[in-house]
Structure 1
Amino acid sequence: MTSTYTVLPYDATAWPQALRRIARPDVLERWGAVDRSPHAPRLVVVPDGGDGDGDGDADGHGWSAAALVTARPGTAYVKIVDAVGDVPAAVDAVLAYADEQRLALVKWEGWTVSAEDAAAAGFAPLRLPLTHGREEEEADEPAGPGSGYVRWPAGEGIAEPPPYYRQSTHFTCGAVTALLARARAGVEPWQSLDREAELTLWRDATNFPACEPVGLGVAVRRRWPTAAVEVFLDTDEPVLLDQLSGSEREWRAVLQRASRSDARRSGVPVDGRRLSLTGLREAIGRRRQHVLLLVSLATMQGFDVPHWVLCHGVVPGAVVVEDPWFNAAAGETWVDAHLLPVPDASLDAMSLLGEDRVRGAVLIGPG
């Protein structure tokens, strides 16, 4: 594995000449087509000792390989957007960098790499999203890569990872995570996940427009009567209403009280304790449950909006989630949001919401 590499700042307005010598113009054009700054873009560079001083400095002399890498803040992965020049050397450098940073995994977008070359570097292919192509057409966004790859440390990873599904609206994240959980449990066929399915479940669970934890748990029980469902919410007060006041807040609070009555009638337990990260990891690992968890996007995306993610795997120091939304304007694709490892401390902080810092979660068992 390459041990000599340099990590340099990324500046799409001034490509170093050494990078221009080894990267195709169309690759550089794609790199600079979006503002990647929210996700800490970096160049991992391998010096070659030729044509210049060879020290891989900021002047860009003597590069044999380079990779553009990015990652969401508060997560435990790094993504190779492209590797250019001596591609195996560039990937080895990124792997060495990830190992030094103690990251949970490395991802690779399939813009320019073949499946054979990715496999030779130890990367496994990701299944294409169920909605591949649809989300870009509806959102007028650039198309994502037609393939993606992931490399876990030896002996770690997620067995039989699910395909990715992106929510088709800005408000159906709760419904999508529930559908993904049931599909992963083998209860729902993957081909049944579509816009009609997510909107139908959202309509049953919504507090307009958000899905609050108790209402979501009740909707899951109604949709799948034999499912083992448990809600954790460490407050008796209405949630997700901090930005509202007056009548707009009051009628949504009425609906949340009705959800608690529905939970009692349908036998969905609502635990008033805060679900700990230890309890969350145990639920996923030992009890084989899926956890729908409310988080704020402030850390990962820069705006404090409540959002549901599906927690479905654990690795040392991190929980693996599916995020049904990604920010294409910042250079994200489905490769970022799929199999997303979030360190325990980050997940603990981002899942405390609102002025009262409460945590909401819906646990769905294998039944």
Structure 2
Amino acid sequence: MSSPQETSVKSIVVPFESGTVPAPLGRLGQREVVERWHAVDRSAYDPHLVAVPSDDGEGWVAAALVTARPHTDYLKIVDAIGDVPAAVEAVVAHARGRELAQVKWEGWTASPEVAAAAGFVPLSPPVTQSQDAAGPAGGYVRWLRGGVATEPPYYGQTTHFTCGAVTALVAQAHAGTLSRETLDRGAELTLWRDATNFPACEPVGLAVAVRRAWPSSPVTVHLDTDRPVLIDHHPEDEQEWRALLQRTSRADAGRIGVPIDPRHLTLNAIRDAVGRGEHVLLLVSLAGMQGFDVPHWVLCHGAVPGTVVIEDPWANTDTGDTWVDAHLLPVADASLDTMSTLSPLSPDRFHGAVVIGRPSPGGAATDSLGARAAKSGSPRSSSAA
């Protein structure tokens, strides 16, 4: 997108410390905004203030609270106060100086008119937010390096274990195979029930469930191990029956024509796939972005130079992370490659992905999952495997 011409802006960057309000910030007013900044522990997301000093250097005329998930390629403005356009201009310059791909802006206090004047476009409101989330109703984005052609709907998983199902559903909604109206909790739980290895969705079982739900969509699994996955943390007796289910999923894949490629899906291959209009469900660890080594499914759907754009169906609301972070989330190639290397309790590492190709024209079963979800009567919810 085109953006207004930027002028040089003098700014200072200072760490944001919970429970502490610098005197120049306090003099800007908007106490309720600053109190909200301190309401959660944001320390895991490099919180800092980007401030514009007054001409006399004695105070600030504007300030913004800025955060970002670790190992990602963006900055997020939580709020800007004082001379808001000046604060936002300073943040954009700060992001450019760090050669980042994107700046986001949570819509707590930002108006659409002010955001548009600063070169931001609105994000589509979330269909639902992840379980127990409390993010803003709206948000904005400004790309500094490339951008994405079309925006998927954002759907936050409504349980702690349905990330695989949600990524598949969002992929199909983005492809036009599933209508936004049928993207709801009924569809989420229906697909999870077909794909689960109790409670996680492993790659082969997820791919089989997707193929069964949408026969017109070609599906390929990339899994560089023959052993059962995502079961190491279970007691040995529970690993055995989950392993049996995974062997059954492999047999089902052979019967219905889902190929299993034993090679690691590289970042170049992911870029090629999304460039062709395909969608990649990628299994990652949350250790880098969230600080705990839990396997989790994300959706790769776009790319800009040096960075892949993903949808993450989960946000850690207790730390100030919201759907605005998780939606259209740019992750640099090297960081995403590290995240996609899973290290189970055993010494073997592995990589897992499911590639959903573009549906064939006139596919007969386009709405099969939505119809099944509606028939099941599963409730809708407004709210990681």
Determine helix, strand or coil for the equivalent of 1:240: coil
Residue 164 of structure 2 is aligned to residue 174 of structure 1: yes
Gapped runs of 5+ residues in structure 2?
A: 1-6, 360-385
**1:58 corresponds to:** none
**1:248 alignment counterpart:** 238
Show CA shifts across 1:23-51 (max 9, x none). Answer: 4010011101101111110001111133x
The aligned counterpart of 2:264 is 274
Partners of 2:329 and 2:150 in 1: CA distance: 15
* Aligned partners of 1:126 and 1:163 also within 8 Å: no
SS in 1 for 2:283: strand
Contact 1:217 1:231 in 2 (8 A): yes
In the TM superposition, residue 265 of structure 1 has moved relative to its aligned partner by 0.3
Residue 296 of structure 1: aligned partner: 285
Q: Distance in 2 between matches of 1:15 and 1:3?
A: 23
Post-superposition, which runs of at least 4 consecutive aligned residues in structure 1 deviate over 4 A?
none
| Deviation, structure 1 residue 159 | 1.8
Q: After superposition, where does 1:39-118 map in structure 2 within 5 Å?
A: 39-50=45-56, 54=57, 61-118=58-115
Q: CA deviation at 1:356?
A: 1.7
Give SS of 1:204's match.
Answer: helix
Which of residues 194, 201, 206 in structure 1 aligns to 2:184?
194
Which residue matches 2:210?
A: 220
- Describe how 1:1-367 pairs up with structure 2 within 5 A: 1-50=7-56, 54=57, 61-131=58-128, 139=132, 141=133, 143-153=134-144, 156-285=146-275, 287-353=276-342, 354=344, 355-367=347-359
Q: Distance in 2 between matches of 1:124 and 1:159?
A: 13
**Per-residue deviation, 1:245:** 3.6
Amino acid at match of 1:254: L
User: RCO greater where, 1 or 2, for CA within 8 Å and sep 6 or more?
Assistant: 2
TM-score normalised to structure 2 length: 0.89
CA contact (8 A) 2:153 2:170 kept: no
One-letter amino acid of the structure 2 residue matched with residue 361 of structure 1: A
CA shift, 1:242, in A, is 2.0
1: CA distance, partners of 2:97 / 2:316? 27
Residues in 1 aligned to 2:277 and 2:316: alpha-carbon distance in whole angstroms = 30
Give SS of 1:309's match: strand
User: In 2, are the aligned partners of 1:2 and 1:89 still within 8 Å (CA)?
Assistant: no
Matching residue of 1:57: none
Aligned equivalents of 1:347 and 1:280: distance in 2?
A: 11
Normalised by the size of structure 1, how large is the TM-score?
Answer: 0.93
Q: CA RMSD of the aligned region, Å?
A: 1.2
* One-letter identity of the residue aligned with 1:186: G
Give the aligned length: 350
AA partner of residue 128 (structure 1): P
Secondary structure (helix, strand or coil) at the match of 1:274 reads: coil
CA shift digits 1:126-173 (9 cap, x unpaired): 0100126xx5xx62x5x321210000126x211231221100000000
Q: Matches of 1:184 and 1:10 in 2, distance apart?
A: 37
Q: What letter corresponds to residue 148 of structure 1 in structure 2?
A: G
> Residue 224 of structure 2 contacts residue 261 of structure 2 at CA under 8 Å; is this kept in 1?
yes
Q: Tell me the distance in 2 between the aligned counterparts of 1:122 and 1:228.
A: 38
Q: Secondary structure at the match of 1:97?
A: helix
Mark the runs of 5 or more structure 1 residues left unpaired by the alignment. Answer: 55-60
SS of 2:272 mapped into structure 1: helix
Q: Which amino acid aligns with 2:279?
A: H
Q: Is the 8 A contact 2:153 2:173 kept in 1?
A: no
Secondary structure of residue in 1 paired with 2:24: helix
Cα offsets for 1:179-219 (capped at 9, x unmatched): 00111110100110111111110010000000000000000
1:241 alignment partner, SS class: coil
**Deviations along 1:310-362, whole A, 9 cap, x unmatched?**
00000011100000000000001110000000010000001011242211000
In the aligned structure 1, how far is the partner of 2:69 from the partner of 2:172?
27
Q: CA deviation at 1:3?
A: 3.2
Letter in 1 for 2:296: H
For 1:81-101, what per-residue CA distance to the aligned partner results, in whole angstroms no more than 9, with x for missing partners? 011111111111101110010
Alignment partner of 2:27: what SS? helix
